[in-house]
Structure 1
């Protein structure tokens, strides 16, 4: 019998239920599928002849295994990266034949994200799942957090952090919970427009880097969100600089050849046609068009539906141990979070130029596709952070440009 543990989680978690074969972007298509050792052994002990042959053909040892409880084995995928255990209606043959207990830890848990902070567990959902994205982003209410005892079940730990450890004694990590809670408070401050909230978050973390660890609590208590927000002013020309910068980023990432998501490739083709950036043509040639498009989209879609982006950012902060999501440097976590948002908005505006319209449903669908195609690509994250640091962009001036 599974032991119950203390669990803290967003209130939306109780609404989630996998819709299986009805899902329009199955997590069993497009991703590598890892098998833990216990499940791997189960697969090779089944007596059902048809399933036994399927397991022997499609489940193999992972020569790059990093953790036997996570990726001891791997399912062999074809060119379409579709799990061979899906039936014609995208339902799992393994679960249908043997029950959920025969699913690997990865398959059982997704889209749930589980972390352990000190003596409690935190569970949330990953927006890369369409149904999870609709639940996370679909409510106009602020994300709130609950605490109760729940069963862990079959799980994989995404992150473990003991802030009480002696190694963090004189570091900001000791005050991780206070810093993260205040970061969420900034993003949920609906008295400010969304870009202003992101600016204040950067200002808060940037200043925090220079504060002695024993003064962090006092700094947080005295930090005045509304007062700091007055120093932010949006510069329209920054939109033009963003188009130039992010177009170069897309070229370097080579999305059309390197990314496995057909939907994300489709979006990429649409935005490049929408922005109509020709080779060797300076972006400045179309500056008025870009500024008008960004300003109109920001007013009509982002600010009018800022709860979508607020919930996306709050959820990201919660399930990625932000601001220590990239390194021990808090500003690294911030600048990459801001980059993600800026790239997302770059796509949304490009789609808007291409289609001439947008909708809440289309915005949520895009964010889900973005999360699946981009958020889960660790290579791009490290490459982008390295590029930002090499060019000394890890500062508030660069952050203002991305806003």
Structure 2
């Protein structure tokens, strides 16, 4: 028997589907692929209703065994045809949980498989997952267990260098600060040192020493003061927001789009309201000032919400090298996504005078519905982010001030 280490955030351990009470369920508005066994099971089911629906509502594509068919959605409400009047799955209720396709049985759960490790995560396009993320200060605390398997997983070993850097970054994020931007700036400083090392595993003592200096600087306020000394570049900030909004405006038919577009419409209205200002940078400055002046009241009971969100982004992306890009390219992706979500909430706060927990949940899950649904969607969005980058990767510091 071989030992396999299973690691997952508390968020994943605690997650349970809320079924029909979900604010925007996952059985509508996007492509759902079915594996070969599931297609055949449904189309040949002894349950007359399931068999009839399957024959009418599954398009057989035969792209692969994992993608043998696709659900044909209703033209009206975009719901899965197998959803019943109680907004629950008729396959699950009629045939049982074991009859669900791989897609439906696993969503929103995710996992990375290495030779002797499995790292589990969850897709934040699920509103309940997003709610748990911001409702529990310990949502991103890691749980580890060891399971005995007949053999190792048929996968490569986890990269030691990636593991070391990723753990140091998560430890920096765990340092208690009022602003997660300070933690992110600390990570920038840590990575500037780490990227100079050819073999991370041979310089652990040096990395640990640098980490302790950064941890001390975060706690004594030195990093906060450094960040406060960075000159604002509202032209860059507004350009990033405008270009990212354009990406989402083109996705108006996708699940989550209507919710996210309400935030974007708010931003559009605010820039019209500030039409007396000639430059978009001045408009962005007003929105950010409003956030800085008033967000503290909103975050008083949820000061950990943004910390949890950023920790999630690091874990879920297998930072720093989960997608083959370099350290700072991947950090730029995380920072730009965080900055966009925060700015949408700043716009809502400026217009409405308040931001609720529901607003935060809506912003997070709708954003991830359009960027995280599958690997193709994620790759498309990240490619777009590369196009909105101004200057080098370290321009991300501008998004932290």
- The bucket for the TM-score relative to the shorter chain is 0.7 to 0.9
Question: Could you tell me which residue of structure 2 aligns to residue 38 of structure 1?
Answer: 37
Question: Could you tell me which residue of structure 2 aligns to residue 199 of structure 1?
Answer: 185
Question: Could you tell me which residue of structure 2 aligns to residue 218 of structure 1?
Answer: 205
Shift of 1:357: 0.7
Shift of 1:222: 1.8
Determine if the alignment matches structure 1 residue 265 to structure 2 residue 261: yes
Residues in 2 aligned to 1:302 and 1:161: alpha-carbon distance in whole angstroms: 42
For residues 248-278 of structure 1, give each alpha carbon's deviation from its aligned partner in whole angstroms, at most 9, with x where no partner exists.
3323553474655211122211222134365
Residues in 2 aligned to 1:303 and 1:211: alpha-carbon distance in whole angstroms: 40
The TM-score normalised by the length of structure 1 is: 0.84
Residues in 1 aligned to 2:197 and 2:312: alpha-carbon distance in whole angstroms: 26
Are the counterparts in 2 of residues 256 and 268 from structure 1 also a CA contact under 8 Å?
no
Question: Could you tell me which residue of structure 1 aligns to residue 383 of structure 2?
Answer: 382
Residues in 2 aligned to 1:151 and 1:311: alpha-carbon distance in whole angstroms: 31
Determine if the alignment matches structure 1 residue 188 to structure 2 residue 174: yes
Are the counterparts in 1 of residues 125 and 368 from structure 2 also a CA contact under 8 Å?
yes
Question: Could you tell me which residue of structure 2 aligns to residue 249 of structure 1?
Answer: 244
More deviation, 119-128/276-285: 276-285
Alignment: residue pair count? 380
Shift of 1:225: 1.7
Residues in 1 aligned to 2:352 and 2:278: alpha-carbon distance in whole angstroms: 23
Residues in 2 aligned to 1:47 and 1:4: alpha-carbon distance in whole angstroms: 41
Are the counterparts in 2 of residues 43 and 55 from structure 1 also a CA contact under 8 Å?
yes
Question: Could you tell me which residue of structure 2 aligns to residue 9 of structure 1?
Answer: 8
Shift of 1:306: 3.2
Unaligned runs of 5+ in 1: 164-172
Shift of 1:185: 0.7
Q: Secondary structure at the match of 2:137?
A: coil
Determine if the alignment matches structure 1 residue 141 to structure 2 residue 150: no
- Structure 1 ranges of 4+ moved more than 6 A: none
Are the counterparts in 2 of residues 12 and 135 from structure 1 also a CA contact under 8 Å?
yes
Question: Could you tell me which residue of structure 1 aligns to residue 161 of structure 2?
Answer: 175
Residues in 1 aligned to 2:245 and 2:190: alpha-carbon distance in whole angstroms: 30
The TM-score normalised by the length of structure 2 is: 0.84
Superposition pairs of residues 79-228 of structure 1, within 5 angstroms? 79=75, 80-141=77-138, 143-149=140-146, 161-163=156-158, 173-191=159-177, 193-214=179-200, 215-223=202-210, 224-226=213-215
Question: Could you tell me which residue of structure 2 aligns to residue 356 of structure 1?
Answer: 353
Residues in 2 aligned to 1:201 and 1:160: alpha-carbon distance in whole angstroms: 30
Shift of 1:93: 0.7
Are the counterparts in 2 of residues 85 and 93 from structure 1 also a CA contact under 8 Å?
yes
For the aligned residues, what is the CA RMSD? 3.0
Superposition pairs of residues 56-71 of structure 1, within 5 angstroms? 56-62=55-61, 65=63, 67-69=64-66, 71=67
More deviation, 329-338/54-63: 54-63
Q: Secondary structure at the match of 2:189?
A: helix
Shift of 1:199: 1.3
Shift of 1:281: 4.4
